[in-house]
């Protein structure tokens, strides 16, 4: 049994961390820091946790020493918070974007401001066990990738690692509204966001840098907000470097993800849910990946879906923690998702 | 051809007034006042009006004299705005709640503050042609009823006027998110409001006072926010004062609304849309009314549906204007609604 | 460890039974009977179960002897299926409506056909531990109540049992589309059902009989299909028989449900989720109950929300099984629900 | 004043034809043929038309001679229906896919069956006034393009005609559920289709052939069903053949669509609705087109949105009819769309 504390606990990712860790058999939640709601019960912000906990949010200065510290604070703020809190915990898992990139110049390029703790950048291992499991076993600084990045990375990794695709990749990402967080602006008003098909990025998105670093590709991403609260789907358009066949691609995916507890290869010939779709993944830690190869073989779509707050955030953090602690990787993450929903 | 100006033009009701009046063959829109967005194009706030108009929002002090002034400003503000602007127009149509009640004490009871222009309260005729058509023909102060009130009033009027029901009425109102306006708070964030079944009032709602005044009943209203942007539906539980039959009720509705251009009696025995439902009314000025009588005759449900921004607001304003000007009542309001949607 | 088999396993309730029982630490799923899809993998119908099971649907004649048999077949069919299968299992849990009522005349009144196995009617204990826990401990015939009935029963029981309310109760039920099942007709086409506020019953619904039997009230129910896949909410309008206060009502609810693992009293003065709402219950076995008392005390609303496929069906079945077997009641039902969603 | 008759009038496109033509000042609807519902009132299938018409569906053999015949029947059936009915009207407008392609071999390639009236294929002019206005002025055989094809064609035409882009184009299409029609199968059940992000085509879609023919490009299309009833959005990934600038692209679009009544160029730098989105187009005949050029200029996204049943079907038919008859092109198509919705 270890203790865990969460900073940024009143936001949506903070709420998911609480949900997962309160249900985790090896973790005791020691503190939930919120600057917006100190003193309030955590189920005020997260009504799904009613009668699961009597915990209250606390201020940062009330944070106890803890075995693992999870940060779900905003980008730019986190690079100020983390240095002053890092000593409070042996292991730090950050869910913001501030420690995902290793190169400060790259950070400034994508985030528009200089990094304020560049000396820490190199210490973090990406919280993506499918790619970095061995390093995570001993990592005490973990940075969970962005939700759309995780989907794209898991869709592309089997192809990129096998050398099957050219480096230029078009990533079409679709995402629900919860990715904008609990304090978002007027464009997230229900009347405006409901029924949206809102192309909010046509290239240069921060997650491109993470995909590039993980897969060695040159991604170009568009992102569309769709009518959903949770869920991310990516469709990656790739070009095979040589003639390949559908069974060959299928084998590459199956081989790469054999034994992975949270990646399922979904590429069926028929059926309603024959390709990855977030609808059946809400609350679950799965990333479903699939593909479609053009008959001529000239184009290969790599597709993935996940719940942005679980596998795209809090679930990946818990899975990484499980790896770090040597626990069974599915611990506390057994929920399968529901259907229909 | 007359000129019309709109105050509060950047809000949702303001946008609907613009849409309807820009398409009205007898009206020229002279000015659109917005305190939030002066100088900006109106299609910035209302993207559906792109290429329909080059109009820009102006400040209140830029408001020209105009034939008709329509106010779509918030409650409490309007009772301050209206007195200083009333002289700018021959006819004033207010869509706020500030001039719907005639008794200042009643206003204070329901709105929680004293009325600041009580001397004007008696001047206003409700903008509900189905009940006040004759008075509207000469009215120069018109107050459009609330969206849920209009639905309940049109559902109940045929029963109340015919003396068929006891005064105690339970009104169950369901409403989309646009009724909260374009500047609503955190509970209207898409992630929170999406999929809601949110009982936000269990009695004492302001619209009760309007229903009481129009129908001579004692309403008790609950209101639930449902997953929709537009649309209001009310289910009114009434008690017949004597034994009545289904054909008798049907006749009461049909007789009462014979010739009404915007009220349809919808009470079919079968079919998917056999009772009023806002889904097929989006953008249209209809209020569909229907009913269901218990086999034993002991309970009579009166049901209505409308688009809260049209028949529940801007459309009622335009219909009232048509009545006032002696124009055909359907002018500028011909849109039938779409299906499916 | 016991074995469980499911009949009607390809439907939505069947899928939830599979999800819950596959994750139940004391149960092994022996067989999943489907007349529509024998031989197909269960994850064909229930894609959320991919990589959770390799089970395939079988025909009824392939059903093995099993410790517990769960039936999720349609009404009218179940009363034919159950007699011929009952001997195959020690314990039978039925989720259809066929064995919920004890009086064959009452069944015929509400279901429109004579009961074909009336001799079995009296054997069944309702699968509602909050009301029948003691009887369930030894029950080998369990009939899970209807989803809207469960919500209304749990909302009303504390008031009815304490003798606080008059027998006449208006129940306003709102429900998602999954209650219509996986083989529903044209009115369940997405284009027609999306955005619906469809009043599909205005009295005489079958669930009325269950509410009456459980709470000793005379319910009159209206039911509205709302835009949701899962979820039921009921608003019950009751009349106190004497002057009561809000703290008194609150105490009645808290006392009645003290220690109940799956009923939460939700009746807050403020906050977005201050009354029960299904949005935060998806996938969870909770029934949230709350209330609102008129200032004058003349009307008391009893409110409840649940996930119709879980606490309103499969979850109640598993909870009843836990009671029957003497296991901890939360076993296999720990999922808290997610927020936002 | 001319007479118009509709075949396939009980479907969704048939309903939109009825809505638009019943409101058209120069058209009288003579007959509405439905094989499913002969003798029933048209407002049974299309409840939005209640009190707009007393028309009833008739059988095909009751079809009178008529000035214009509009066919909204399924693919494959239409090529049998049209030859036997063509003589009944001077002008025929077909909304199916059967007469969109001119080459029978191409038809067989994309539709999987041989064409049964190949001799008629060459007679049809595409019902897309933006590309074929002059030919439409005298056309008596008009084939309205597919909804996704229209969006892609209008997005790509300014670029393709100006020789700005390479022929290989990736088209990412997103579509609501109404495109599947009123008689669709189990995957269109609300519980399954709600919240979907369903990639149902990854290449080889029939609309590719239309885009290729209209724009001289080699399109490769993926299509995703999104949570919406109406609406299509396409994102076309193109490669500029030379260095171009954003103002140059903007000028190409503006020039190409100057004076077009139903195409709006939407490519703003900021704002919630800065790129085309179907949400604000429901019921309207607009196709909004926009674009995004990569900073480096290496990739150019062409984007379009429309209502699949209006500009993507019935509205395009009426607009084409207006052109054919020499009427003002906006006649009967003035509805601007609503916001918010």
Q: How far apart are CA A131 and CA B72, in angstroms?
A: 56
Determine, yes or no, domain membership for D92: yes
Instruction: State yes or no: pLDDT of A207 exceeds 90.
Output: yes
Instruction: Give residue A258's pLDDT.
Output: 98
Instruction: Give residue B295's pLDDT.
Output: 87
- Given pLDDT bands bounded at 50, 70 and 90, which one contains residue C264? very high
Helices (H) and strands (E) in chain D, counts: 10, 14
Instruction: Give residue C297's pLDDT.
Output: 86
Q: Which of B183, B230, B15 is nearest to A189 (CA)?
A: B183
* Mean pLDDT value across residues B125-149: 98
Query: For residue A8, how many other CB atoms are within 10 A of its CB?
Result: 27
Domain boundary among A108, A123, A138: A123
Phi and psi angles of residue B5, each rounded to the nearest 5 degrees, phi first: -125, 150
**Contact state of A336 with C273 under an 8 Å Cβ cutoff:** no
Q: Where residue A38 sits, what CATH number does that domain have?
A: 3.40.50.720
**Contact state of B271 with D19 under an 8 Å Cβ cutoff:** no
Inter-chain Cβ pairs, chain A and chain C, closer than 8 A:
89
Under 8 Å CB-to-CB from A59, ≥6 apart: which residues? A33, A35, A38
Would residue D216 be called left, alpha or beta, if left means φ above 0 and alpha means ψ between -120 and 50 degrees?
left
Domain boundary among D89, D107, D123: D123
Give the gap in angstroms from C-alpha B107 to the nearest C-alpha of chain C.
19
* Mean pLDDT value across residues B52-59: 98
What is the average pLDDT value for chain D, to the nearest integer? 97
pLDDT tens digits, D214-232: 999 999 999 999 999 999 9
- Given pLDDT bands bounded at 50, 70 and 90, which one contains residue B297? confident
Determine, yes or no, domain membership for C134: no
Instruction: Give residue B103's pLDDT.
Output: 95
Residue C278 is classified by DSSP as: G
Q: pTM of the predicted model, to two decimals?
A: 0.98
Phi and psi angles of residue D304, each rounded to the nearest 5 degrees, phi first: -150, 155
Q: Please return the burial class of A295, using the count of CB atoms within 10 Å of its CB with bins 0-12, 13-18 and 19+.
A: exposed
Q: Which residue in chain C has the smallest CA separation from B278?
A: C197
Q: Which of B305, B325, B283 is nearest to B23 (CA)?
A: B283
Write out chain D residues lying below 8 Å of A275, CB-based: 198-199, 202
Is residue C323 classed as helix, strand or coil in its secondary structure?
helix
Instruction: Give residue A161's pLDDT.
Output: 97
List the single residue in C186, C202, C301 with the smallest CB-CB distance to B202: C301
- Given pLDDT bands bounded at 50, 70 and 90, which one contains residue C296? confident
Instruction: Give residue B183's pLDDT.
Output: 81
* Mean pLDDT value across residues A72-93: 96
Determine, yes or no, domain membership for D29: yes
List the single residue in A23, A229, A336 with the smallest CB-CB distance to C52: A336
Q: Which residues pair with B134 in a beta bridge?
A: none
Helix ranges restricted to H, chain C: 12-22, 42-45, 78-85, 104-111, 129-136, 147-161, 190-193, 206-215, 246-257, 315-325
Instruction: Give residue D296's pLDDT.
Output: 83
Residues C99 and C194 in one domain: no
Inter-chain Cβ pairs, chain B and chain D, closer than 8 A:
89
Residues B225 and B270 in one domain: yes
**Contact state of C177 with D186 under an 8 Å Cβ cutoff:** no
- Given pLDDT bands bounded at 50, 70 and 90, which one contains residue D155? very high
Q: Which of D292, D332, D312, D149 is nearest to D228 (CA)?
A: D312
Instruction: Give residue C99's pLDDT.
Output: 98
Q: Which of C225, C183, D305 is nearest to B50 (CA)?
A: D305
Write out chain A residues lying below 8 Å of B186, CB-based: 182-183
Handedness of CA B17, B18, B23, B24 (dihedral sign): positive
Residue C147 annotated among the catalytic residues of the structure: yes
Instruction: State yes or no: pLDDT of A60 exceeds 90.
Output: yes
Is residue B336 classed as helix, strand or coil in its secondary structure?
coil
pLDDT tens digits, C144-185: 999 999 999 999 999 999 999 999 999 999 999 999 988 878
List the single residue in A195, A275, A305 with the smallest CB-CB distance to D279: A195
Q: How far apart are CA C149 and CA C234, in angstroms?
A: 9
Q: How far apart are CA B63 and CA B3, in angstroms?
A: 12
Q: How far apart are CA C63 and CA C81, in angstroms?
A: 12
Residues A151 and A224 in one domain: yes
pLDDT tens digits, D8-26: 999 999 999 999 999 999 9
Inter-chain Cβ pairs, chain B and chain C, closer than 8 A:
113
**Contact state of D197 with A222 under an 8 Å Cβ cutoff:** no
Q: How far apart are CA C12 and CA C283, in angstroms?
A: 13
Instruction: State yes or no: pLDDT of D184 exceeds 80.
Output: no
Instruction: Give residue A91's pLDDT.
Output: 98
| Tally of domains within chain D | 2
Q: How far apart are CA B23 and CA B17, in angstroms?
A: 10
Residues D173 and D117 in one domain: no
Domain boundary among C54, C88, C123: C123
- Given pLDDT bands bounded at 50, 70 and 90, which one contains residue B249? very high
**Contact state of B220 with C294 under an 8 Å Cβ cutoff:** yes
Instruction: State yes or no: pLDDT of A184 exceeds 80.
Output: no
pLDDT tens digits, D96-140: 999 999 999 999 999 999 999 999 999 999 999 999 999 999 999
pLDDT tens digits, B7-38: 999 999 999 999 999 999 999 999 999 999 99
* In contact, C312 and C255? CB cutoff 8 Å: no
Residues B174 and B287 in one domain: yes
Write out chain A residues lying below 8 Å of B178, CB-based: 191
Instruction: State yes or no: pLDDT of C299 exceeds 80.
Output: yes
Residues B104 and B230 in one domain: no
Q: Which of A3, A6, A1, A2 is nearest to A314 (CA)?
A: A6
Give the gap in angstroms from C-alpha B309 to the nearest C-alpha of chain D.
9
**Contact state of C338 with A12 under an 8 Å Cβ cutoff:** no
Query: For residue D61, how many other CB atoms are within 10 A of its CB?
Result: 7
**Contact state of C266 with A50 under an 8 Å Cβ cutoff:** yes
Determine, yes or no, domain membership for C326: no
Instruction: State yes or no: pLDDT of B42 exceeds 80.
Output: yes
- Given pLDDT bands bounded at 50, 70 and 90, which one contains residue D197? very high
Residues D220 and D288 in one domain: yes
**Contact state of D279 with A186 under an 8 Å Cβ cutoff:** no
Q: Please return the burial class of B118, using the count of CB atoms within 10 Å of its CB with bins 0-12, 13-18 and 19+.
A: middle
Write out chain A residues lying below 8 Å of C260, CB-based: none
Write out chain B residues lying below 8 Å of A11, CB-based: none
Q: Where residue A272 sits, what CATH number does that domain have?
A: 3.30.360.10
List the single residue in A12, A183, A194 with the smallest CB-CB distance to B194: A194
Mutation target to probe the C interface, by most C beta carbons within 10 A, among A45, A51, A278 is: A51
What is the average pLDDT value for chain B, to the nearest integer? 97
- Given pLDDT bands bounded at 50, 70 and 90, which one contains residue B296? confident
Instruction: Give residue B185's pLDDT.
Output: 81
* Mean pLDDT value across residues B194-198: 98
Catalytic residue (one of A52, A58, A128, A147):
A147
* In contact, A215 and A160? CB cutoff 8 Å: yes
Q: Which residue in chain A has the smallest CA separation from B178?
A: A191
Q: What is the dihedral of CA D239, D243, D247, D251, to 10 degrees?
A: -70
Instruction: Give residue B70's pLDDT.
Output: 98
pLDDT tens digits, C182-239: 887 889 999 999 999 999 999 989 999 999 999 999 999 999 999 999 999 999 999 9
Residues D220 and D275 in one domain: yes
Edge-to-edge, what's the strand order for the sheet holding C197-201? Answer: C197-201, C218-226, C168-175, C232-238, C300-306, C287-293, C263-265
Token pair of B106, please? 């009643």
* In contact, A280 and A273? CB cutoff 8 Å: yes
Query: For residue D201, how many other CB atoms are within 10 A of its CB?
Result: 18
**Contact state of A226 with D197 under an 8 Å Cβ cutoff:** yes
pLDDT tens digits, B216-243: 999 999 999 999 999 999 999 999 999 9
Instruction: Give residue C74's pLDDT.
Output: 96
Residue D311 is classified by DSSP as: I
Determine, yes or no, domain membership for C131: no
Under 8 Å CB-to-CB from A52, ≥6 apart: which residues? A19, A22, A23, A43, C336
Determine, yes or no, domain membership for B317: no
Write out chain D residues lying below 8 Å of B23, CB-based: 334, 336
Q: What is each CA distance from A254 to A289, C49, C62, in whole angstroms?
A: 10, 18, 33
Give the gap in angstroms from C-alpha A182 to the nearest C-alpha of chain B.
8
Instruction: Give residue D234's pLDDT.
Output: 98
Instruction: Give residue A182's pLDDT.
Output: 87
- DSSP assignment of C78-101: HHHHHHHHGGGEEEEEE-SSTTS-
Token pair of D332, please? 């009967």
* Mean pLDDT value across residues D283-307: 96
Determine, yes or no, domain membership for A52: yes
- Given pLDDT bands bounded at 50, 70 and 90, which one contains residue B178? very high
Percent pLDDT > 90 in chain D is 96
Residues B178 and B85 in one domain: no
Write out chain D residues lying below 8 Å of A174, CB-based: 197, 224, 226
* In contact, B257 and B289? CB cutoff 8 Å: yes
Write out chain C residues lying below 8 Å of A338, CB-based: 16, 19, 48, 230, 282-283, 309
**Contact state of C295 with B203 under an 8 Å Cβ cutoff:** yes
**Contact state of D283 with B229 under an 8 Å Cβ cutoff:** no
Residue ranges making up the domain that contains D43: 2-123
List the single residue in A183, A186, A194 with the smallest CB-CB distance to B229: A194
Determine, yes or no, domain membership for A283: yes
* In contact, B313 and B147? CB cutoff 8 Å: yes
* Residue found under tokens 């590309």: D131
Give the gap in angstroms from C-alpha D115 to the nearest C-alpha of chain B.
31
Instruction: Give residue B182's pLDDT.
Output: 87
Q: Which residues pair with D89 in a beta bridge?
A: D66
Residues B110 and B163 in one domain: no
Residue D87 is classified by DSSP as: G
pLDDT tens digits, C105-115: 999 999 999 99
Residues C161 and C296 in one domain: yes
With residue D213 as reference, give the H or E element that holds it.
Answer: helix D206-215
Instruction: Give residue D73's pLDDT.
Output: 97
Residues A103 and A170 in one domain: no
Chains that touch D (3 or more CB pairs under 8 A): A, B, C
Handedness of CA D181, D185, D191, D193 (dihedral sign): negative
Q: What is the dihedral of CA D30, D34, D35, D40, to 10 degrees?
A: -100
């Amino acid at each position: 049994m270890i203790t865990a504390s969460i900073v940024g606990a009143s936001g949506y990712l903070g709420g998911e961390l609480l949900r997962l860790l309160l249900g985790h058999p090896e973790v005791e939640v020691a503190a939930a820091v919120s600057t917006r709601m100190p003193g309030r019960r955590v189920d005020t912000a997260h009504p799904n946790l009613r009668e699961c906990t009597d915990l209250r949010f606390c201020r940062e200065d009330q944070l106890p020493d803890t075995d693992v510290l999870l940060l779900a604070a905003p980008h730019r703020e986190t690079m100020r918070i983390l240095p002053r809190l890092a000593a409070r915990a042996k292991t730090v898992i950050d869910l913001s974007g501030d420690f995902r990139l290793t190169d400060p110049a790259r950070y400034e390029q994508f985030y528009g401001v200089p990094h304020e703790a560049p000396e820490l950048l190199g210490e973090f291992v990406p919280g993506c066990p499918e790619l970095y499991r061995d390093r995570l076993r001993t990592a005490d600084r973990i940075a969970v990738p962005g939700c759309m990045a995780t989907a794209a990375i898991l869709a592309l990794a089997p192809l990129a690692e096998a050398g099957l695709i050219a480096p230029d990749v078009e990533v079409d990402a679709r995402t629900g509204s919860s990715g904008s967080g609990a304090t978002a602006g007027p464009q997230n008003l229900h009347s405006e966001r409901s029924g949206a098909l809102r192309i909010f990025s046509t290239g240069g998105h921060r997650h491109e840098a993470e995909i590039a670093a993980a897969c060695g590709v040159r991604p170009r991403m568009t992102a569309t907000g769709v009518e959903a609260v949770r869920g991310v789907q990516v469709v990656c358009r790739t070009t095979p470097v040589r003639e390949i066949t559908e069974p060959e691609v299928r084998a590459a995916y199956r081989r790469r993800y054999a034994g992975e507890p949270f990646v399922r290869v979904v590429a069926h010939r028929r059926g309603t849910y024959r390709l990855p779709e977030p609808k059946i993944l809400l609350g679950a830690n799965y990333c479903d990946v699939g593909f479609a190869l053009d008959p001529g073989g000239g184009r290969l779509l790599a597709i993935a879906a996940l719940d942005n707050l679980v596998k795209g955030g809090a679930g990946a953090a818990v899975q990484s923690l499980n790896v770090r602690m040597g626990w069974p990787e599915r611990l506390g993450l057994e929920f399968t998702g529901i259907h229909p929903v």
